Structure 1
Amino acid sequence: MVQEISCRELAAKLEQDRAIVLLDVRDDWEVEICMINGAQHIPLSNLPGRVDELPPEKTLAIICHHGVRSRHAAMFLEDYGFKDVFNVTGGIDVWALEVEPDMTRYD
């Protein structure tokens, strides 16, 4: 079962905990529009071939546009053996509404 984290909870964790890794699984064109500073970008379609770029000993928070692709990424990583994985509920769209209101949003 994939653990969930809200955008506000994630923002607080990112401020205080450098051990958490934010993984953005959106497509390249989406990241060109907006991205959370410090996020590691690996598109979901590339994740199986690039999973070795992620630190299995750290907490991973995974974000996409609305939370669907990030949930799939979290399930994949859990199946791969990652232990501390969170899906960011609402994705970067909710992040822009609740945490970073100046961030550009898209449909």
Structure 2
Amino acid sequence: MRQLSPVELRDYLQQTDTPPLLLDVREPWEFQHCHIEGSRLLPMGQIPSASGELDPAAETVVICHHGVRSQQVAWFLERSGFSNVINLTGGIDAWARDVDPAMPTY
């Protein structure tokens, strides 16, 4: 699993022609409060039953509040055969601090 900082992810998203799936594994209330534009909400608790809806070959960036839940989900996805998983280190909190200071935090 690769790790990207918020700044690295921002730069990557600006440069790529084929954006990765931004998989936000927080709870719906967290996602409603703030999220990265274009991300898909799939709460951590639903990952085991819903991972079949995801493409195991697709580049997938997993996002949570601080980077802990997302790392656990990324490990799960890798063990489930996903070959291109990236964890957003520091999560949405670091994204708000380092990339989008106008983003609400909690």
TM superposition score category, shorter chain reference: over 0.9
Verify: 1:15 aligned to 2:14, yes or no: yes
Q: In the alignment, which residue of structure 2 is the partner of 1:50?
A: 50
Q: In the alignment, which residue of structure 1 is the partner of 2:3?
A: 4
Q: In the alignment, which residue of structure 1 is the partner of 2:93?
A: 93
SS in 1 for 2:102: coil
Q: Could you tell me how far 1:32 is from its partner in structure 2?
A: 1.2
Count of residue correspondences: 105
Can you give the 5+ residue segments of structure 2 that lack an aligned partner in the other structure?
none
SS in 2 for 1:22: strand
Q: Could you tell me how far 1:43 is from its partner in structure 2?
A: 0.2
SS in 2 for 1:23: strand
What stretches of structure 1 move > 4 A for 4+ residues in a row? none
Q: Could you tell me how far 1:12 is from its partner in structure 2?
A: 1.2
Q: Could you tell me how far 1:45 is from its partner in structure 2?
A: 0.3
Can you give the 5+ residue segments of structure 1 that lack an aligned partner in the other structure?
none
Between the two proteins, what is the percent identity of the paired residues?
A: 45
CA RMSD, 1 decimal: 1.0
Q: In the alignment, which residue of structure 2 is the partner of 1:83?
A: 83
Q: Could you tell me how far 1:96 is from its partner in structure 2?
A: 0.2
Amino acid aligned to 1:65: H
Q: In the alignment, which residue of structure 2 is the partner of 1:62?
A: 62
Distance in 2, matches of 1:15 and 1:55, equals 22
Distance in 1, matches of 2:31 and 2:11, equals 22
